[in-house]
Structures are given as C-alpha cells and as structure tokens.
Structure 1
Amino acid sequence: MQYATLGTSGVEVSRVALGTATFGLSPRDEDVAALVGLARDLGVTYFDTANSYGNQPGYAWPGVPEWRDRVSAEELLGRALRGAGDEVVVASKVGEPIGESRPTSEWRGLLTREHVEEQVGISLQRLGRTRIDIYYAHLPDPVTPIEETVSVFSDLVDRGDIGSWGISNYTAEQTAEVVARAAALGVHPPIVHQARYNLANREVERDLVPVLERAGIGLAAYSPLGMGLLAGRAAAERNWSGHARWGGGGFSADEIEAAGRFEAAAASIGLAASQAAIVWLLGRPAVTTVVVGATSEKHLRSACGSANYQLDECALAVLGAVDIAQERADSSAV
C-alpha cells in the first residue's frame, strides 16, 4: 500500500480507501468484519461511510431484509473497527436525504446547523468513536446559507467532534465559494473533496481540479469502476450494474460494447479491467485516494494491489484511447 497527504492538511491516508455504501447488502452483516480486517491487513487506513449508507430506502436488493430491518453501514463499520483508535482514518457524511421520505425527497443536501449537529451525534454513536476524523457535507445545500454550513463544520472541529471536514459532489463554482467563505469568516476550511471520477467520467478535470489545487484541497475519487462499466463486459452486463443497483436502469448496449473494448485494452497491458481503471485513476496527479466499494476479499485484494502499479505513457495511451464515456448523468447513490 502507498500513502499520501490530503492537500496541505497533513492528514495522511492510504491511497486505496474502503467505501461502505453497500455494507449490510454486499457484504452481508456477518461478513463485514472479515472484509474490514483484510483491508487493514492490506494496509488500508482510510474508511469511508455516511449516515445514509446501508439501511435506507433505495438500498433494496433481492434476498436481503427490508431497509428498516437492516443495520446502518456506520454501525457495521464501527463494530469492525472497534479498538482501532488512531490507527485508522474514519470519514462519514451528512446531508443526503434519509429515512422514509428519502425516495420522494428533492435530491439536495440538508446542511443546516441543527441537522448537522443532530446527525454528527448519531454518527458518533453508531461508529462507537469519540471523533470522526473527516466529516463530509455529502451534497450541496442550495437553501441554507453557506456561512451557516461552513461555521457549523468548523465549530465541530473546535469542539473535537470531528478532526477536519470536507465536501462532496460540489461543482467547481460551489467549491470556490465554500473556500472563499471559510477564509472570510476565518474558520477551518475543508481539507478534501470527494467526487465521482473515473476514466468514463472525467468532468472534474476541466474545472474542479484547478480549484482544488489552488486551495490545497485533496481529492478522494469515488466510483472508480464507473458502477461496473470499467470492470469488464461481463460485469457491465450484470442485472445490478449501473444505476440498476439503486432502482434505475442498467448500461446501454453501446456502453456494454465499450466495456468490452476497455477490457481488451487492459488485457493488452497485462491487467484486469478493474485494476487498470484504478491504476489509471491513482496515476492522475490530483488524486490523493481512491474509494473502492469492494464487496469480496478477491475484489479487495485486487483493488489494493493496484496501488503497486505504475503505468507508462504507452499504457496510459492505450487505456485513454477507448471511448467509454457514460451516456447518462447519475443523480443518486452518491
């Protein structure tokens, strides 16, 4: 495993992080501890979760209990990391719609002082920790004044409830505004931005990455396999690939064909498609860490092994030549 510092914050994380969006579904409750334990054995120090992961409406897969009967991903991660202390960096998030109203809620963040302070207490209890190392604003809130949101996260740092904070799914313009408001108020700024970034979705390179670099903010890339599109043709064809896992549609015929071409390109440089996607992402200069949603020991070993590869210019050109841009924007399951 390799390690890097999030921007100018001094917070060091493993370059491959374990995401927990599907904890309780895949892996099931009884398998979470073993997967988290293996991650630690493989050198993973950064674990990513949210108050909206695992036991929410929309996370309803065949063969698993209803959402009300499932344990939250935060609780499952907390149990698996009990006693780990400062050996790990634990991140959680707040802002996504939660509970019974989630399926019909407007898909935007809720980042009022009242909600953030209420939810951080719940997350701390679920995780069984006295501090959340990194606490993210999960989605931008277009209604709550930015000053209120920035101030409450900074206050949580001062209180010791969180070590630092970050933002997720913000545009370049929104990110710049958050940074500017924090500076104007003289409060703790965000240290990391978690964004969807992969070979099939490179929009962040155009405008977000320059903002992060100027502000000294780290980039945690999620969805490195493009929800299965970059894991090869067979993975892209599965019934639960793409948006289907969240109740939407799967990949189109053109996308599946592109997945096959990417798989062939990866094989030509000696890598499986999923590894090639992660290696490519780890090689991007702005990326500090890649959040992988590995659901089995095999997939986790493969993902963590990706940190040990470096692609030369020729190999990068082979992968980059595959036209695999996704046709649909996803507004859920972030």
Structure 2
Amino acid sequence: MTSPLGPTDPTDPAAWRDLGSTGVKVSPLTLGAMMFGAWGNPDHDESVRIIHRALDAGINVIDTADVYSRGESEEIVGKAIKGRRDDVFLATKFHGAMSDADPNQGGNSRRWIIRAVEASLRRLQTDHLDLYQVHRPRPEIAIDDTLSALSDLVHQGKVRYVGTSTFLPSQVVEAQWTAERRHRERPVTEQPPYSILAREVERDLFPTAQRYGLGILPWSPLAGGWLSGRYRRDGEGHVASSRAQRQPARHDPALPENRRKLEAVHALQDLADDAGVSLIHLALAFVLEHPAVSSAIIGPRTLEQLESQLGVEKVSLSRDVLDRIDEIVPPGTTLNEADRGSAPPALVDPALRRRSP
C-alpha cells in the first residue's frame, strides 16, 4: 500500500521542495524549536545535538519564535547553527508576550517589531533572518502598520522574507491586498495548524494561499501528539495527563470531541499497521501529500522523537490509503474546534455579534 518515493538519500537537495513562489528550496521537514528550553528540553547540549542531527539528516529549515521559553529557544538555536548559518533557512516569529509586566513587550506594533527583531538577531547570533513571521494576527492593529515595519526590516537587510502564522483566509487576503496597495513587502508564507485530525484549512486557507503563491509550513502535523503512535487499541499509552492539564480543551479525554479524536486515532493506527508504516510516517506523509504544503514543521523534544520522524520523504501513500483517511476524517473536517489554532474574532468576543451590551 506504500512505495518508495524520491531519492534514498534525504540529504540530496533533489528531495527539497518549492517554498511557494519565492524560488527558495526547502526540505520536506522543518525543525520546529518550540521544545528546546524550559518549555520542553532544558538540556542545551542535548538540544544542540538534536539540531545537528536534523541538519545532518538533510533538514535545512529551522523555525523558532522569541516567545518559546522567552528567548531560550532562540539562544539554543543560535549556539547550534554557529558555523553552519549559511546552510540554514532560519525562521523566527514575533507577537507573543515577552513580559508579564509590560504589555508593550509583545504584539504586532511597529514599536515592538523593531525592538523584537534586534533581540532575536542577538539571541540567534546572526545579522539577518531568512523568514520573520507574525506569530498570530491582531485585528485591532492595522495590518499596514505591521507590514510597514517589516518592509523596513527587509530594506535594511535584517530580514529576507516575511510571513504569517495561523491567519484566517480573510486575513491572508487582507495582508496581500494591503501590501499591493501600500507597496509593502508581502507575506510569502503562512503557518497553519494542519493534520489528519485538523483539516479545516483545506476548505479555504489552502486554496487562498495557492492563489497568492504562498508557501505553507504547517504546524502540529502530529496533532499535538495524538498521531505519535502512543494511543493504541490494546490500551498501551493514554492521553498524557500533563498535556490534559496544560491544554484541557485539546487533550482532556473526558471531552466528547477528544473521544472522537481517539476513535479516529485507533482507526488510523489500524490503517498504518496494514500499510506497513508507522502512524507518525502516515501522518507526516499525509500532510506532505497536499500540493499546497512546502514543508511540515516537526517539534521533537528528544533525539528519539526526531529519529522517529526522519525518512518520511521516502514514504508514498497509495490512493487507497488516502481514500481511507478521507473516510476516517473527511476532507475539510476538524474533529475538535480547539485544534483550529485561532477562531474568527466574532466567535470569541460576544460584543462583536450583539447590538446590545
């Protein structure tokens, strides 16, 4: 039900893919650095070894953010790529709160962007970023202000490309039209949540991104660990209590939407077993199968987790397998609303959909 695909050597650049219409070639997998530091693996030396292993295995994109462990992730990445900077397409993000006391240390304002980029460059020990991304939208801030600041950074040589993360389709379009009308640097990438269990972006976001030539870098292709292979019908493994405590909406097994996810996971595990691949490779290969996707972001915390995800570029899912996945989780379906990454503001703030106070 599966067959080899592409070169057997994952370090061969022939396996790399187009990053939208930028002309840049990227590896099928992007190394996400969220788990390096206090949020995941506090051992800097081990984290550096994981990054080096990823680079040696042919991964040429590293994605981090200033908010990941409040700068610690960027510091670890900076140590790891020292001497190898030219081999890395380096991406980071701004938006998240970097202070509990000062609300101006975060967000998408010009004031913060200009300050945040300098701090990221210092932590990453580099003079430029290949991709600087708006980590989340802020509808109350004019997108033109954000794009204006980012355009200045591109003109100064501190940033090569700009992108967005977890934008709604309408926000993607607004950014593109604003850039065109106001002569700003336009976002060339988008990072949405995308996995077999969270397929809503197939409805509108992906077609919109394709129309504008955006490169798609999906995050959470393993659905926050649900597709890691740990939850089997035989009872081995259970929904991690730590995840359930941190993100109950996504992981609390008592919630009906998460029970539906678990049922789907069991069916997908059976399918992976029949196909002769790990559930991890099934999940990653599915994400990479979509023509809109440039590179899937993985976020290993340990070297073992990284090794389990490498080699997916040699896996090809047959039409029968893909059809069966569509039966388990229909196209455009997200089983749990909490896995969408962000919701339209009017669904979150009642004041935006009610006339009366």
Q: Under a length normalisation based on structure 1, what TM-score does the superposition of the two structures give? A: 0.87
Structure with the bigger RCO (C-alpha within 8 Å, sep 6+) is 2
- Match of 2:30, SS? strand
Deviation at 1:135, TM superposition (A): 0.3
Worse-matched range after superposition: 254-263 or 188-197: 254-263
Note closer, same or farther for the CA distance 1:180–1:44 as it changes in structure 2 (3 Å cut). Answer: same
After superposition, residues 77-92 of structure 1 pair within 5 angstroms as 77-92=77-92
1:305 equivalent in structure 2? 311
Is the counterpart of residue 50 in structure 1 residue 47 in structure 2?
A: no
- State the AA in 2 paired with 1:214: R
Match of 1:207 among 200, 204, 209: 204
After superposition, residues 58-137 of structure 1 pair within 5 angstroms as 72-100=72-100, 110-137=107-134
Note closer, same or farther for the CA distance 1:275–1:98 as it changes in structure 2 (3 Å cut). Answer: same
Worse-matched range after superposition: 246-255 or 92-101: 246-255
**Can you give the 5+ residue segments of structure 2 that lack an aligned partner in the other structure?**
1-9, 343-357
**Number of equivalent positions:** 312
Note closer, same or farther for the CA distance 1:111–1:225 as it changes in structure 2 (3 Å cut). Answer: same
2:275 equivalent in structure 1? 269
After superposition, residues 1-334 of structure 1 pair within 5 angstroms as 1=10, 2-25=15-38, 26-27=40-41, 28-55=43-70, 72-100=72-100, 110-232=107-229, 233=231, 237-241=239-243, 244-245=245-246, 250-252=251-253, 254=259, 255-323=261-329, 325-330=334-339
Deviation at 1:257, TM superposition (A): 3.2
- State the AA in 2 paired with 1:44: I
- Match of 2:161, SS? strand
**Can you give the 5+ residue segments of structure 1 that lack an aligned partner in the other structure?**
56-70
User: Distance between the aligned counterparts of 1:328 and 1:293, measured in 2?
Assistant: 22
Preserved CA contact (<8 Å) 1:266 1:319? no
Preserved CA contact (<8 Å) 1:49 1:91? yes
Note closer, same or farther for the CA distance 1:264–1:101 as it changes in structure 2 (3 Å cut). Answer: farther
Deviation at 1:227, TM superposition (A): 0.4
1:68 equivalent in structure 2? none
Deviation at 1:5, TM superposition (A): 1.7
- State the AA in 2 paired with 1:94: F
Deviation at 1:300, TM superposition (A): 1.4
- Match of 2:218, SS? strand
Note closer, same or farther for the CA distance 1:183–1:176 as it changes in structure 2 (3 Å cut). Answer: same
Note closer, same or farther for the CA distance 1:259–1:96 as it changes in structure 2 (3 Å cut). Answer: same
Deviation at 1:240, TM superposition (A): 3.2
Deviation at 1:298, TM superposition (A): 2.5
- Match of 2:162, SS? strand
Q: Under a length normalisation based on structure 2, what TM-score does the superposition of the two structures give? A: 0.82
- Match of 2:191, SS? strand
Preserved CA contact (<8 Å) 1:135 1:165? yes
Preserved CA contact (<8 Å) 2:193 2:339? no
User: Distance between the aligned counterparts of 2:87 and 2:245, measured in 1?
Assistant: 36
Note closer, same or farther for the CA distance 1:246–1:252 as it changes in structure 2 (3 Å cut). Answer: closer
- State the AA in 1 paired with 2:136: L
Worse-matched range after superposition: 292-301 or 263-272: 292-301
Deviation at 1:304, TM superposition (A): 2.1
User: Distance between the aligned counterparts of 2:144 and 2:226, measured in 1?
Assistant: 38
Note closer, same or farther for the CA distance 1:43–1:236 as it changes in structure 2 (3 Å cut). Answer: farther
Preserved CA contact (<8 Å) 1:172 1:211? yes
Worse-matched range after superposition: 199-208 or 92-101: 92-101
